Amino acid sequence: MEIIPAIDIIDGKCVRLTQGDYAQKKIYNEHPLEVARAFEDAGLIRLHLVDLDGAKAGAVRNWKVLETLAGRTSLVIDFGGGIKRSEDVDIVFNSGAALATIGSLAVKDPATFAGWLQQYGADKFLLGADVKNEKIAVGGWLETTDKWIYDFIEEYTGRGVRQLFCTDVSKDGLLQGPSLELYRNIVQKFPELHFIASGGVSELDDVFRLEDIGCKGVIIGKAIYEGRITLDELTKIALTSKK
């Protein structure tokens, strides 16, 4: 099971939001490279990097941070936030991201995303789905659509997408545990999917529970920054997974 630490960026600094609310912002480190190197030193391989300025502006903003982290660590980085145009996709890949993370655009403009899947290859994208009551949420979680998460996944696995992470917006940033039932349902319905859980992880036992139900990966943010899960603990998991 992949442990994927998250770094969220505002003004070039490492922050975390609570339930996507920019007013509930907490700065954890002004130097994201220090954080990324700590993850790398812990034996972790991947990084989930989110440009919150870009997400708000509707265009990639913190690509320089991506460029620095990709150039000065060996982490496999997926980068999201503000990817709306082909130019944004090019910036993300040219700056060193292994994967471009796409969320709301896949809901609001499926034709554009389908074009990118053909142009760049489906293996170059990590699809993100924000969910509330099993329905897709968009627009910074403020808008819930009538689209079922299962229909959404089926649509894009049919287009070649193989990696997807899902965030239950009612859980994110609250450290109250992940949505095990939702994730179990997804894993059972789509066993071929490289499914990554996101949101709500508050302790190491949550990671083991997600592994038990068949998740291939887990994105962890606030639990690390708040000391609920230590890098030493993640190192042990990383070493075990390599055996």
Which active-site residues does the annotation give?
8, 130
DSSP states of 38-61: HHHHTT--EEEEEEHHHHHHTS--
Distances (CA, A) of 151 to 50, 110, 228: 25, 13, 35
Distance CA 177, CA 161 (A): 27
The tokens 């949550």 sit on which residue?
206
CA 90 to chain centroid: 19
CA 120 to chain centroid: 20
Q: Is 225 left (phi over 0), alpha (psi -120 to 50) or beta?
A: alpha
Q: Is 140 left (phi over 0), alpha (psi -120 to 50) or beta?
A: left
Half-sphere exposure of residue 60, counting CA atoms within 13 Å on the CB side?
26
Distance CA 55, CA 73 (A): 24
Distance CA 142, CA 91 (A): 28
Triad 172, 92, 9: Cα angle to 5°: 40
